[in-house]
Structure 1
Amino acid sequence: MPPEPTGPPRIPPPRPAAEDCGHWPGALDAGIPAPRRPGAGPVDPPAAVPGPPPAAPGPEPTPEPAAESAPEPAAEPAPEPPPRPAAVPRPPSHDLLRSLLGAWALTACSPEETAAVEDHLNECNSCAEEALRLREAVGLLHSEHSLDLDPLLRSRVLAGCLGRRPARIPVPGWAAAYDAEAARLDALLRDMGEAEWRAPVRLKWFDGQRLTGRDTTVGGVIGHLMVVDGLIAASLGLPDPLGAPAPGSPSARTEAYWRTGPGAVHGAEPPGSVRELWREQGHALVRTVSFAGRGVSDLDVPYGDFTLPLCDAFLDRAFACWVHAGDIAEAVDYPYEPPASAHLKAMIDLCARLLPGTLAERRRAGLAAPPRQLVAAGSPGRTLHLEVEGIGGGDWYIPLDSPAALASPEEEVAHIALDGEAFYQLAAGHVPPAEAAAGQSGDIEAIRDVLYATASLSRL
């Protein structure tokens, strides 16, 4: 058994305060070399055994004097390790760059992200195509044009769909203009509030001798359209909105509705409620003639003092929708575009075909000059050349001496040229015939009679 030591006990040196400290506390005084890092090179003197892991930071303990021992030679300072090379950043992944395309299109990326995305677009075709689509979409957000839907959007979409696959029960061509114009007017009415439904509207027409008008509201205009459309509904066996018995002329029906109709002028119901009734009736009219077949187009529709074939009655109601939609748009300060070219031409053609009969009615009333020639039915007589310029325009030859006479370009005695807007304003009764902007040549009396007959096509 070894003998017990007789001197004072040896006290171990204290722990270092931090791992990167060059010496142990108190080691310099005691001559104890600092521990060397692994791999720092050959060690001449034996390295001191490292102590336990450093304790939590706290007050530095007071070093105690080390036991007396023989001084050891001082260790050489350890050489500094070579600097590590800087880490090269990994390029962003494809998925990350693709997720930044939306922000890049909105110019919301940082400069570093923008550079990374644009470098990636030079290498990735799919992301480049997506970025182009996003940039075009951003352009729509800053469009200088109105973002309201184009009123002709519905007709164009339907035309495209029917061009790819025709409807099983197609709408007859002569009813397509009414279907489109009613839909355009309905789009104008869809978002109106109660105040707009009560907005004042001035209806204007030519009574045969002078311009006249009537004040109503937006609701009153739609009620007027509904009860006149009821003439077609009654002819097809559908319910008449006025019930039975009902007046036969458009003006009498309108006055009756304005006196008693719900929500038109002074009704207790909301003024916008008439829109649903009018639109439901319009759908029923189009649906009925679509299922009825070809022979229904020749069915007579009574208008009080005159009758129209069903096909012409639908064109007449399409023209009324366009005219009164313009009246409403003017009242609520909203832009409204003209009909599609094919529909507009069909409406102008109807007006041109009605002019000989209207001119004959004015002669019987003493409002037009008598015919210059007596012609038999089907024989050529004097002819006026009506030229309408612009969208939907064309050339029409109007017989002047008899509605049954054949119009012949060889018998032309006068020529009237109007643009589409001027003809619309004249046929709608919005401008006096004497003030209609028109190019004129030939028989002045014949020109005057035809201009007045065109204005007389308008009515309440």
Structure 2
Amino acid sequence: MKAYDEDDGNDEHDTKGADGDADSGTGSGTGTGARIPLPRASVEDGGRALPEPAPVALEHQVLTSLLGAWALAACSAQEAAAVEEHLGECDACAEEALRLREAVTLLQRPESLDLDPALRTRVLDGCLERRPPRIPVPEWAAPYDAETARLDALLQDFGDAEWHAPVRLRWYEDDGAASRRTTVAGVIAHLLTVDGTVAAALGLDDPLGDIAAPGQAPAARTEAYWRASHCPPTRAERASWRRQTHDIVRTVAFTGDAGGMPVPYGGLELPLRDAMLDRAFECWVHAEDIAEAVDYPYNPPSARHLNGMIDLAARMLPGVLATRRRAGLAAPGDRPHLVAAGEPGRSLRLEIEGSGGGEWLIPLDSPGAVGSSDHEVAHVALDGVEFCRLAAGHVPPAEAAAGQVGDRDAIRDVLFAAAALSRM
């Protein structure tokens, strides 16, 4: 019984404690539970419109300083309201605001902001024209130095896909178009092997090594190199070609006046200064082939270098004419006769317009004859780049955009002889 009474007392004490806790939890003597307040009502809930921002009171000087930000839509709502209210009252500020708004429209370019794809080429061309040479390169070697540097810059960012992009080498042979399919890497291998003729003449290593190439003609050298490769050319060709071009430029820079050194081209032999121009010309032509294959813009050489390339082609034309005449591919003329070396003979005036332009009198009857305006029988006018592409075999002679006056046979012979200068 005593234990029961103690339990009753404990129960009563616990009940009071519970009541006390409840009272202290509510903070009032009512004994009701806690209530969570409802969210505050918004003006959107009542369907009423939001209040317009009230204009702030600003001085005239401050409002004037805000006109530029207002024209650019960079003001806060209150500032914009203050400016617009002020514009209805101040004619001077209204005129200034209109002028600023018109100026802002000029800042919005409708065209794309992407970089011009030709920008890199223009910057590179400008750098190549202005940079001081690292070593004193002879004038006749400068075109080769510049064109190999331009091509190397084009190749710099190529990935595997670009290196294996198909390229078709084109030239003219036996009065007909010829071509050879290869890749970008194959073109660089081609330049490596043909430049090797110059390297070998300078006493440098020949990239062919022990590979036999019949006659050492440029095309034969390339075909032999391709056949000897265990796999198709890859981007690794660039390192060999680049190293060889640097060695050639460095060597000619320290050989003194060696421009007359003979360089064999199979059945043809050129002095070193002309061989370097020829290699510069082919480097540019094949760089254009590569750029076309990867859909990249590529500019012609500088006017000074282009003029040298055209001059070389013009000087080679009489010899090509004689070769074609012996092969029955050129007309002998109305009164065929040989002209003694150094004597004037029938001539064609070759006028090159545009970049690298000039005029050349091409003797028609003999390679040793001298062009003479007194014996001029025809006149042909061509754009400089067009003439070079004709000489590269990229433009058919019959389609060359030329202004022609005079002996039609002589004109045809010279245009076809120019195309015959091309090779793989």
**Pair in the same fold by TM > 0.5:** yes
* Aligned AA (1:347): M
The match for 1:157 is: 127
The match for 1:216 is: 182
Secondary structure of the structure 1 residue equivalent to 2:344: coil
The match for 2:10 is: none
* Aligned AA (1:342): R
Of 372, 388, 398 in structure 2, the residue corresponding to residue 408 of structure 1 is: 372
C-alpha distance in 2 between matches for 1:376 and 1:148: 51
* Aligned AA (1:311): R
* Aligned AA (1:251): A
Secondary structure of the structure 2 residue equivalent to 1:298: coil
The match for 2:280 is: 318
The match for 1:393 is: 357
Q: 1:145 to 1:341 in 2, by over 3 A?
A: farther
The match for 2:13 is: none
Q: 1:110 to 1:223 in 2, by over 3 A?
A: farther
Q: 1:214 to 1:360 in 2, by over 3 A?
A: same
Secondary structure of the structure 2 residue equivalent to 1:358: helix
Q: 1:160 to 1:326 in 2, by over 3 A?
A: closer
Moved more, 240-249 or 282-291: 240-249
Deviations 1:385-420 (A, max 9, x none): 011111111111100011111111121101111122
Moved more, 418-427 or 307-316: 418-427
The match for 2:220 is: 252
Secondary structure of the structure 2 residue equivalent to 1:337: coil
2:239 paired with 1:276: yes
The match for 1:242 is: 208
2:315 paired with 1:349: no
The match for 1:77 is: none
Larger Rg: 1
Q: What pairs with 1:14-413 in structure 2 (closer than 5 Å)?
A: 143=113, 146=116, 149-162=119-132, 169-244=135-210, 246-247=212-213, 248-261=216-229, 266=232, 271-293=234-256, 295-370=257-332, 372-413=336-377
In the alignment, structure 1 segments of 5+ residues that lack a partner are 1-58, 60-87, 90-103, 113-137
C-alpha distance in 2 between matches for 1:149 and 1:240: 37
The match for 1:421 is: 385
Deviations 1:314-349 (A, max 9, x none): 110111011111111111111111111111111111
Aligned residues: 337
C-alpha distance in 2 between matches for 1:407 and 1:148: 41
Q: TM-score, normalised by structure 2?
A: 0.72
Q: TM-score, normalised by structure 1?
A: 0.66
C-alpha distance in 2 between matches for 1:314 and 1:429: 19
Deviations 1:336-385 (A, max 9, x none): 11111111111111110110111111112221123633321111001100
* Aligned AA (2:299): E
C-alpha distance in 1 between matches for 2:150 and 2:230: 24
Residue 422 of structure 1 deviates from its aligned partner by: 2.4
The match for 2:18 is: none
Kept in 2, the 8 Å contact 1:208–1:452? The answer is no
C-alpha distance in 1 between matches for 2:328 and 2:184: 36
Kept in 2, the 8 Å contact 1:427–1:454? The answer is yes
* Aligned AA (1:335): P
Secondary structure of the structure 1 residue equivalent to 2:162: helix
Secondary structure of the structure 1 residue equivalent to 2:350: strand
Q: 1:168 to 1:430 in 2, by over 3 A?
A: closer
C-alpha distance in 1 between matches for 2:163 and 2:124: 23
Kept in 1, the 8 Å contact 2:118–2:297? The answer is no
C-alpha distance in 2 between matches for 1:144 and 1:199: 25
C-alpha distance in 2 between matches for 1:303 and 1:246: 15
C-alpha distance in 2 between matches for 1:431 and 1:357: 21
In the alignment, structure 2 segments of 5+ residues that lack a partner are 1-26, 28-57, 60-68, 80-107
Q: 1:210 to 1:444 in 2, by over 3 A?
A: same
C-alpha distance in 2 between matches for 1:356 and 1:336: 31
Kept in 1, the 8 Å contact 2:192–2:207? The answer is yes
Identity %: 59
Kept in 1, the 8 Å contact 2:138–2:253? The answer is yes
C-alpha distance in 2 between matches for 1:240 and 1:301: 13
Deviations 1:74-132 (A, max 9, x none): xxxxxxxxxxxxxx99xxxxxxxxxxxxxx9xx796578xxxxxxxxxxxxxxxxxxxx
C-alpha distance in 2 between matches for 1:346 and 1:392: 8
The match for 1:71 is: none
Specify which structure has the bigger relative contact order, considering alpha-carbon pairs within 8 angstroms and separated by 6 or more residues. Answer: 2
* Aligned AA (1:359): L
C-alpha distance in 2 between matches for 1:108 and 1:300: 73
Task: Detail structure 1 runs of 4+ shifted over 6 Å in the superposition.
Answer: none
Residue 155 of structure 1 deviates from its aligned partner by: 4.8
RMSD of the TM alignment (CA)?
3.4
Q: 1:168 to 1:286 in 2, by over 3 A?
A: closer
Deviations 1:239-286 (A, max 9, x none): 1111035421101001011112366xx25xxx1111111111101110
C-alpha distance in 2 between matches for 1:147 and 1:447: 39
Q: 1:364 to 1:437 in 2, by over 3 A?
A: same
Kept in 2, the 8 Å contact 1:206–1:459? The answer is yes
C-alpha distance in 2 between matches for 1:187 and 1:108: 45
